[in-house]
Amino acid sequence: MRYILKQKLFSLGDDFFIKDESGRDLYFVDGKVFSFGNQMSFQDLERNELAFIKQRVFAWGKTYEIIRNGQIAAVVQKHLFSLVHHRFNVDVPGPDDLEAEGNFTDHEYVFRRGTLPVATVSKKWFTWADTYGIEIAPEEDQVLVLASAVVVDEACHPDDGRRH
């Protein structure tokens, strides 16, 4: 499935709208303004929380937890030392870890499970600032991959919601 992630301009926190490829709203990510470390609530359109994202404040490097139903669904961590490309590891319970690799500054990267690509993030499809597309394989956990992409965006572009 293809999604469009667009930051809300002039927001106090890092708020995101996630739309389908037709432009219909599907999800909202509410960035918490006054929190210790970055915190975001991933919600459906009725504002039901589907996942909660929080930064581990005292972790080595940029590390975030994605929590679903009170349990850690994934830990997303930026690799500290990469010679060529930056990378993020998405550690999920069990053997299904993901790795994101590519150009995070330009929103051009791929999520892989082993060597198999499961999602592609690209800004090439759009000319608008703070908008990019995410194409996710249909058999993947859509919310988990979208939340992971939000984490990557927050880790690589921490001031986006406040620079306008």
Secondary structure class of 78 (helix, strand, coil): strand
The DSSP element (H or E) to which 146 belongs, if any, is helix 142-156
- Domains, the chain, with CATH or none: 2-162 (2.40.160.200)
CA–CA dist 111, 100 (Å, integer): 4
Q: Convert the pLDDT of each residue in 101-150 to its tens digit.
A: 988 777 789 999 999 999 999 887 665 566 788 999 999 999 999 999 98
Q: 148: helix, coil or strand?
A: helix
| Band of pLDDT at residue 38, cut at 50, 70 and 90 | confident
- Res 66 pLDDT > 80: yes
Q: Tell me what pLDDT residue 129 has.
A: 62
- Length of the chain in terms of residues written: 164
What is the distance, to the nearest Å, from the Cα of residue 164 to the centroid of all Cα atoms in its chain?
20
Sign of CA dihedral 87, 90, 91, 95: negative
pLDDT(163) > 50: no
The answer to whether residue 83 scores a pLDDT higher than 80 is no
- The mean pLDDT of 85-99, rounded to a whole number, is 89
Residue 54 and residue 64 in contact, taking contact as beta carbons nearer than 8 Å:
yes
Mean pLDDT of the chain: 83
